[in-house]
Amino acid sequence: MNKFTSKLLTGTLVLSLAGGGIALACDSGQMNSMEAGESTFGGIPLVEGSKNFKHLKEVAAVPLKEIKGSPATTADVYAYKGFAYLGTHRGKMTNEGVRIFDMKDPSNPKEVAVIANDIPGTWQEKVIVQSVSTPSFKGDLAAVSVQRVDKERYGYEGETSENGGVVLYDVTDPKNPKKLGFWKTPSELPTGTHEFWLTEQNNRVLVLATNYMAHRYKDKGVDVHDFSIVDVTDPSNPKELSNWDPTEVGDGFNGDYQYQDENGAQRTAFLHSVIADQTGKYAYLSYWDLGTVILNIEDPANPKFVGRTKFERHVQGAAHSAALAHGGNILIETRENFNPDPNDPAFERGWGYVRIYDIKDKSNPVLLSTFRTLNSMVQIKAGERKPGSYTVHDPKVRGNTLYLSHYADGIRMVDLTDPANPVEVGSYVSDKANVWGVFVDRNYILASDMGQGLKVLQKNADFNANKMNLQSVLMK
């Protein structure tokens, strides 16, 4: 069993949020911009849902402090043991690091520390914190992604790190974090690690890491593949165990960044994100137009291809992130599609949405259903696009509830009791929504709003918390 467990209060909460500002998309290969939604509610967040959600309200909205003279936009958010960890986007390319907030009073989060803000020319999209007990380290381990910015892609000409990767911290005392180690991607790779996962297997602590778009740069001397498994049992001495070759998927795929699929559609393949199941036996790789690739990683030195999801000719692809439900038998696949008006006339129109699969047979995922917000279904005509990016972004699952960060569509909560019939049961949207990530912890919901900072949603203060009908669940 995976020993990384987090008691997260969930069950019947549902939200959706919004933020402001315009920033580059998390590199999808399309290099589009993410736009906040329109100012619609006069500054008052809009909460909708069933009777279980009518007491929800936004209790805090904390903008990020300027550390280096420039404002920062948020990236992903995580929570552990009463502290929130907020990654920063590369908006101003000033390496703003991961902000740590004390959540003792959810209505008044206090920023108490910053980590990973000493690696110039990088940004920190993702952070995961878990308790670890090994002969080399005992305490709370924070892993942070390090992605480089450069002149070619972003016009950045300032001081820069020679490597991306994953940096590790001791946050047993979150107010006094200590740097432990740094697993580095090759200097030839101008990207680094965008997303990763932290898991445990056979008393070893493993980082599953993306070598972001590695094959895009193979002609520039980059000779690694997109996916590495790293042993961080001793966080001060990370050791790479394997680097997986994606040509194992077959179907004529040669591993190239751009390729033509079996239906004649032009596709883009790169590893964007990865998760593992609670046992640490299977990894789920969000490989953009290649779909969600499922690997058996029981032997982390020799990952084995098991199966993958595939897209019909009319579907734009863009497998961005994944989550598991129903004991690992249901796969949630979010598709970050910023191109609602595709050039290929055979592709469907509209923003990215959710696809839900039965994966009891992991060698043959079966599509059960899709979930789309009303805005993501809008068929945009050329020149008629309104402000806002309405694609889905990241999924989180607690019990039978799916939480979705949805950029300008805020945060959506979806009942997955019947995976073949997902039902939206609540939402939270504020003016100029631009929500990157969502996380459920204790008796509140956290959201990272790119323009407005850390958002906290909670039931009304006068509502008895014992009546919130929240369930404690295990989360890796």
Q: What is the mean pLDDT of residues 246-261?
A: 92
Residue 12: pLDDT over 60: no
The closest alpha carbon to 350, from 314, 322, 319, 321, belongs to 314
Residue 23: pLDDT over 70: no
Average pLDDT, the chain: 87
Confidence of residue 190 (pLDDT cuts 50, 70, 90): very high
Confidence of residue 222 (pLDDT cuts 50, 70, 90): very high
Domains of the chain, with CATH numbers? Answer: 8-473 (2.130.10.10)
Residue 90 confidence (pLDDT): 67
Residue 378 confidence (pLDDT): 75
Confidence of residue 45 (pLDDT cuts 50, 70, 90): confident
**Residue 227: strand pairing partners:** 210, 244
| Per-residue pLDDT tens over the stretch 138-150 | 999 999 999 998 7
Residue 51 confidence (pLDDT): 63
Confidence of residue 24 (pLDDT cuts 50, 70, 90): very low
Percent of all residues in the chain with a pLDDT value above 70, rounded to a whole number: 87
Q: Which amino acid is at 152?
A: E
- Six-digit token string for 79: 């929570």
Q: For residue 98, what are the contacts with CB-CB under 8 A and spacing of at least 6?
A: 85, 86, 87, 88, 114, 115, 116, 117, 124, 127, 142, 144
Residue 211: pLDDT over 80: yes
Tell me how many degrees the CA angle 160-163-164 measures, rounded to the nearest 5.
100
DSSP element (H, E) containing 358: strand 354-358
Residue 80: pLDDT over 90: yes
Confidence of residue 197 (pLDDT cuts 50, 70, 90): very high
Answer for the pair 294, 362: CB distance below 8 angstroms, yes or no.
yes
CA 14 to CA 147: how far, in whole Å?
31
Give the chain's end-to-end CA distance (angstroms, integer): 11
The closest alpha carbon to 292, from 416, 374, 395, belongs to 395
The closest alpha carbon to 295, from 357, 204, 397, 363, belongs to 363
| Per-residue pLDDT tens over the stretch 412-440 | 999 999 999 999 999 999 999 999 999 99
Residue 461: pLDDT over 60: no
Q: How many CB atoms lie within 10 A of CB 158?
A: 11
The closest alpha carbon to 435, from 387, 385, 378, 391, belongs to 391
Query: How do strand 319-325 and strand 330-335 relate by DSSP bridges?
Result: antiparallel
Residue 13 confidence (pLDDT): 36
Distances (CA, A) of 15 to 311, 384, 436, 450: 29, 29, 13, 17
Residue 5 confidence (pLDDT): 35
CA 302 to CA 329: how far, in whole Å?
24
Among 33-42, 115-124, 342-351, the minimum mean pLDDT is found in: 33-42
Confidence of residue 33 (pLDDT cuts 50, 70, 90): low
């009942």: which residue's tokens?
415
Residue 4: pLDDT over 60: no
Answer for the pair 436, 74: CB distance below 8 angstroms, yes or no.
yes
Percent of all residues in the chain with a pLDDT value above 90, rounded to a whole number: 70
Residue 26 confidence (pLDDT): 56
Among 221-225, 256-260, 374-378, the minimum mean pLDDT is found in: 374-378
- Six-digit token string for 459: 């039931």
CA 104 to CA 81: how far, in whole Å?
10
Confidence of residue 351 (pLDDT cuts 50, 70, 90): very high
* Sign of the alpha-carbon torsion through 453, 147, 144, 351: positive
Residue 44: pLDDT over 70: yes
Confidence of residue 383 (pLDDT cuts 50, 70, 90): low
Q: What is the mean pLDDT of residues 45-65?
A: 82
- Greater confidence (449 vs 65) lies with 449
Confidence of residue 9 (pLDDT cuts 50, 70, 90): very low
Residue 233: pLDDT over 80: yes
- Greater confidence (180 vs 51) lies with 180
- Greater confidence (367 vs 71) lies with 367
Residue 127, SS3 per DSSP: strand
């019990």: which residue's tokens?
399
| Per-residue pLDDT tens over the stretch 261-289 | 999 999 999 999 999 999 999 999 999 99
CA 102 to CA 100: how far, in whole Å?
7
Q: What is the mean pLDDT of residues 333-348?
A: 92
Report the predicted TM-score, pTM, of the whole model to 2 decimal places.
0.91
- Greater confidence (471 vs 344) lies with 344
Query: How do strand 165-170 and strand 98-102 relate by DSSP bridges?
Result: unpaired
Work out the widest C-alpha separation in the chain, in whole angstroms. 61
Residue 22 confidence (pLDDT): 42
- Six-digit token string for 239: 């050791």
Residue 473 confidence (pLDDT): 30
Backbone angles phi, psi at 159, to 5 degrees: -60, 145
Q: What is the mean pLDDT of residues 465-474?
A: 34
* Sign of the alpha-carbon torsion through 394, 313, 25, 146: positive
Confidence of residue 56 (pLDDT cuts 50, 70, 90): confident
Answer for the pair 209, 165: CB distance below 8 angstroms, yes or no.
yes
| Per-residue pLDDT tens over the stretch 307-326 | 999 999 999 999 999 999 99
